[in-house]
Chain A
């Protein structure tokens, strides 16, 4: 291929005649893309000039499918978007549906929601920790991170019936009540998690190889992070303190005491540290809730057919990846006219080119790991 011809999707101007640039594919099948994501790289030697992500390998047309399903059936679909934080996606959809119907949520259900959502956040961040270590070449870390995540998923299996695709929350509460064993199990898990997290902190955080490969790599400035629509840990690691739980609180987050960790360098190391801080904050939130679960109904009285009034409704939640928004347009029937999902990984992936420009090829793996994209959520 002639060096001065740009492949589709690339924007940087062609370089000089004697410049040796070339294109390579990373993915769709690549262990560090966390799914079927294809990145086309334009390289100058080992230096990255431009990255173009190609999406759509696992596009399932969820938003179109939703038009054929009714509202309750769509909750099942949200499990399959971000499979690491399925329960938080359930919550996001349910909040949007509740806005439409003005359905009330009993206090017990709110506590169940918050506890499960925070557990799911810890599970997702543990997967990030594991994959971050694994992508840097530390296979030990990969195994350790998944250990505690399994324990959290055991709790999910006991409560919801499924480890990943939970399909648990419903408008006005949850599908089932929590079992009696839930509270002691969560307490035991929290006790275990604290010692485990300090172990993991020692295992990787100050490790010289991990630091060399992440400090100062993939810097994303505050302005760029906002401009690209980044959210969640990627945004907060660049110095913007925006968390939906704090800035636009839903459920009972307004009454809980927790901090929003913010880091200012915007490099890979900060994006790693911020997720660790968030895990500690999540533990703090669960500790506040677990003793205060009130008795009472777990779901407000349901109607035989769930219908939304005419209009459009939007609710945003903070999942482990960032801002998860659900926009529902209804024409009054029992199935939506249109559902749109604002998925956090999509916005975060948009900033990949800015982060990776000028870095080495091996740094791209680190950058991609710290964005922590979940491809089914990007493609939907």
Chain B
């Protein structure tokens, strides 16, 4: 790294100066790594697949969409379609049907997980609190059909 306008004397001077400051700067850096080496408490790595049982996501974590159900498996959805309209990438199809009394109820709640970006706008839009973002993750699968989900088990309450 010799500059063209630097004379030989200056160059040699700089060379010997750098012989001392160079290794010193490296030792400065090494002192940091050594401190971490002898201080295992500072290490923050998680042993991921092993700690899966104790791993808890934050309450607001946005995983995949799930339906809020009570103990009988009844959902709160009225098939109003607000979530379908709020979804930016058409991941939700609410298929309404009519029950025996002739009232409009939820038939099928189709959720295309493959195109979902988990933005949470559907949960914000729902006026009844019938859906929420789940805590799950690790959804990789080999077949695209695994991402075409039907969320409701029963008809909605209407």
> What interface size band does chain B fall in?
20 to 34
Cβ-neighbour of A208 out of B26, B35, B60, B124 (below 8 A): B26
The contact string, 1 if C-beta is below 8 Å from chain A, for chain B 43-86, is: 01000000000000111111000000000000000000000001
B residues lining the A interface (CB < 8 Å): 1, 18, 21-22, 25-26, 28-29, 31-33, 35, 44, 57-62, 86, 88, 117-121, 124, 133
The contact string, 1 if C-beta is below 8 Å from chain B, for chain A 180-206, is: 000000000000000000011011101
- CB-based contact B120/A167 at 8 Å: yes
Cα separation A206 to B25 with both chains bound (whole Å): 6
- CB-based contact A207/B120 at 8 Å: no
Cα separation A165 to B1 with both chains bound (whole Å): 45
Query: What residue in chain A is nearest B125 (Cβ atoms)?
Result: A72
Closest-CB distance, B89 to chain A (whole angstroms): 9
- CB-based contact B86/A161 at 8 Å: no
- CB-based contact B60/A161 at 8 Å: yes
Q: Does A353 contact B (CB under 8 A)?
A: no
Residues of A within 8 Å of B, CB-based: how many? 32
Closest-CB distance, A155 to chain B (whole angstroms): 10
Chain B residues near A140 (CB-CB < 8 A):
29, 33
Cα separation A57 to B127 with both chains bound (whole Å): 40
Q: A199-B32, A203-B33, A204-B29 are in contact. Are A73 and B86 (CB under 8 A)?
A: yes
- CB-based contact B88/A76 at 8 Å: yes
Closest-CB distance, A229 to chain B (whole angstroms): 30
Query: What 9 pairs between A and B have smallest CB-CB spacing?
Result: A161-B60, A73-B88, A208-B22, A76-B119, A161-B62, A158-B58, A203-B32, A206-B25, A208-B25
Cα separation A206 to B117 with both chains bound (whole Å): 43
Q: Does A277 contact B (CB under 8 A)?
A: no
Given A203-B29, A203-B33, output 6 extra A-B contacts at Cβ < 8 Å. A73-B121, A76-B119, A77-B88, A158-B59, A167-B119, A175-B124
Q: A76-B88, A208-B21, A212-B1 are in contact. Are A159 and B60 (CB under 8 A)?
A: yes
The contact string, 1 if C-beta is below 8 Å from chain B, for chain A 153-179, is: 000011111100101000000011001
Chain B residues near A160 (CB-CB < 8 A):
60
- CB-based contact B61/A161 at 8 Å: yes
